[in-house]
Amino acid sequence: MVERVRGDDAAGATRKGPAKVIARVDLTSLLRGYPVEGDLCELVGFGPVAVSAMRDLMDTGDPFLAAVVTKGHEVVGVAHLGRRPNAHQRTALEWLYPTCAAEGCAPVAFLEFDHRVDWADSHVTVFDLLDRLCSHHHRLKTREGWCLVDGRGKRAFVPPDHPEHPGHGRAPPVARAA
């Protein structure tokens, strides 16, 4: 483990503690599994690393690893490496989605946080890839492949065979137990 000096205590002794490792990765590379021309995947202060190495680091769950996720030069968020949104992400999602994100659905209580890209595949919780759904819509998405159309805020919730479904034309997802 890398250590850094954290400061002096009252007696003047120097204390050491774990260093934070900051990783920067383009969202498309992270989801795709490999970079293409112009994509970045690097450890700040170290340099480029393979996306597979980044995923291995993320899978450790080390609390001293922070992942900055970008789209080109734009920061789209700081990825939280846990399954559930962190406090900042939760607050922003509660503001953005005070009700279920599915058009025409009004519940405000017991909303669930949903990963647009299944957390089991990505192992990262990125704000731009989260929605809040009621348990009914979350169940339809998880078990039957329904999905919100691309975008933000209230939007249509469509079945897998709908032309606006983000995965339209691909094989339907395998149903999973909740």
CA distance 47 to 41: 8
What residue type is assigned to position 166 of the chain?
Answer: P
- 96 and 145 inside one domain: yes
- Residue 63 counted as domain residue: yes
Question: Does the residue 37 lie in any domain?
Answer: yes
Contacts 24+ apart (CB under 8 A), 40-45: 40/70
Answer yes or no: do 99 and 73 share one domain.
Answer: no
Q: Is residue 41 located within the same domain as residue 95?
A: no
* Secondary structure class of 25 (helix, strand, coil): strand
Among 160, 173, 154, 110, which residue's Cα sits nearest to residue 136? Answer: 110
Residue 164 in domain: no
Residue 94 lies in a domain: yes
**Among residues of the chain, what percentage have pLDDT more than 90?**
26
Q: What is the pLDDT of residues 77-88, one digit of tens each?
A: 666 667 788 777
Domain enclosing residue 111, as ranges: 87-158
Helix (H, G, I), strand (E, B) or coil at 148: strand
Q: What is the per-residue pLDDT for 79? A: 66
* Shared-domain flag, residues 28 and 54: yes
Q: What is the pLDDT of residues 148-158, one digit of tens each?
A: 999 888 999 99
Q: Is residue 99 one of the residues assigned to a domain?
A: yes
The answer to pTM > 0.75 is no
- Judge if 99 and 120 occupy the same domain: yes
Mark whether 53 and 120 lie in a shared domain. Answer: no
Asked if residue 172 belongs to a domain, the reply is no
Shared-domain flag, residues 71 and 122: no
In a domain, 175, yes or no: no
**31 and 72 within one domain:** yes
The answer for 12, left when phi > 0, alpha when psi is -120 to 50, beta otherwise, is left
Contacts of 116 (CB under 8 A, 6+ apart): 129, 130, 131, 148, 166
How many domains does the chain fold into?
2
**pLDDT at 134 (0 to 100):** 96
Judge whether 67 lies within some domain.
Answer: yes
Contacts 24+ apart (CB under 8 A), 69-72: 69/25, 69/26, 69/27, 69/30, 69/124, 69/126, 69/128, 70/24, 70/25, 70/26, 70/27, 70/40, 71/26, 71/27, 71/28, 72/26, 72/38
Q: pLDDT of 91-103, one tens digit each? A: 778 877 889 999 9
Between these two residues, 55 and 159, which has the higher pLDDT value?
Answer: 159
